[in-house]
Amino acid sequence: MSTTIDLAAEPYEFALAPEHCALLIIDMQRDFLEPGGFGEMLGNDVSQLRGVIEPNRKLLAAWRAAGLSVLHTREGHRPDLADLPPAKKIRGRSATSIGDAGPMGRILVRGEDGHDIIPELYPEPGEPVIDKPGKGAFHATDLHAILQHRDVKQLVVTGVTTEVCVNTTVREANDRGYDCLVLEDCCGSYYPEFHAMGLKMIKAQGGIFGWVSSSERVIKGLADWKSAQ
C-alpha cells in the first residue's frame, strides 16, 4: 500500500505523507473574522473572510477523523505588551491600536475574547495552540520544536490572511525545510486580489515556497487512504 496520498496540486502533484504531515490553521480568531471585531473596526469587510470557515470546518473534521496532527495559531501579545514591538504598536497611525480596548476586549491581547479562535474551529485537547507575536508562526514561538518532536516534515496550511500571516508562515516554513501545501479555498483575505496574488507567489517558479490545492482534494485523498487501510 502506498504510504503517500498523491494529490493534484499546482505547480505539480503533492505526495502527502500522513505520518509526517500536520495541518496548521493560521489565526482563525474572532477579532479577524467576527462582525464587531478588530478587523471590522479597521474598516475591513469580514464577509470576505467568513467564506473560509465552512471549508476549514469540513477539512478539520476529516483531518481529525483520519487521526492526523493539527496545530492552531493565534496572533497576539502578552497582557503587559512586553513582546509588542513599538513599531508594530504605532504602525498605521490609528486612533486605536494593539493593546487598547476594542469591541471584544483589548485588541490582539492574549486571554481576551477577540483573541480567541472562532467556535466553529475551536481546538480540541491535544491540539497545540501556538501564540505568536508576529505574522510568521515560527518567529518567537516553539512551533519548530513541536514539529520536530512529532517528526513533521510537511504542512497543510490554511487560515487568514493569505498574503500576511499565511504567506509569512509558509516562507518561514520553507526556509526551515518543510514542504507546504496551501489550500486555496481555506485561506482568505480582506482583499480578493491579494488572496489570488498571495497564492500565485507561493506556487510560482516551480513552487518556490510550496504547493497550492483545495480542501476537496485533501478530504477525498484522506477518505481513500483511510478506506485502503
Kindly state the number of chain residues that form the binding site for ligand C5J, as judged by CB under 6 A.
Answer: 7
Using the minimum distance from each CB to ligand C5J, give the nearer residue, 19 or 120: 120
Residue among 31, 132, 186, 203 flagged as catalytic: 132
Find the length of the chain. 229
Using the minimum distance from each CB to ligand C5J, give the nearer residue, 20 or 74: 74
What are residue 81's phi and psi, to 5 degrees? 60, 20
Residue 109 makes contact with ligand C5J by CB under 6 A: no
Site for ligand C5J in 12-41 (CB under 6 A): 27
For residue 144, the minimal CB distance to ligand C5J (Å) is 19
Q: Which three cell numbers stand for residue 76?
A: 497576539
| Annotation marks residue 27 as catalytic | yes
Using the minimum distance from each CB to ligand C5J, give the nearer residue, 189 or 213: 189
Residue 55 · residue 185 · CB < 8 Å: yes
Q: Name every residue whose Cβ is closer than 8 Å to that of residue 99 and which is 6 or more positions away in sequence.
A: 77, 81, 84, 89, 106, 107, 108, 109
For residue 191, the minimal CB distance to ligand C5J (Å) is 10
Residue 25 host element (H or E): strand 21-26
Residue 115 · residue 31 · CB < 8 Å: yes
Q: Is 217 helix (H, G, I), strand (E, B) or coil?
A: helix
Using the minimum distance from each CB to ligand C5J, give the nearer residue, 9 or 164: 164
Residue 161 makes contact with ligand C5J by CB under 6 A: yes
CA 199/CA 57 separation, integer angstroms:
21
Residue 182 makes contact with ligand C5J by CB under 6 A: no
- Count other Cβ atoms within 10 Å, centred on residue 48: 18
Residue among 31, 116, 131, 165 flagged as catalytic: 165
For residue 75, the minimal CB distance to ligand C5J (Å) is 5
Residue 165 makes contact with ligand C5J by CB under 6 A: yes
Using the minimum distance from each CB to ligand C5J, give the nearer residue, 156 or 165: 165
| HSE-up (13 A, CA, CB side) for residue 109 | 18
Q: Annotated active-site positions, please?
A: 27, 132, 165
Query: What is the binding site for ligand C5J (CB under 6 A)?
Result: 27, 75, 135, 160-161, 164-165
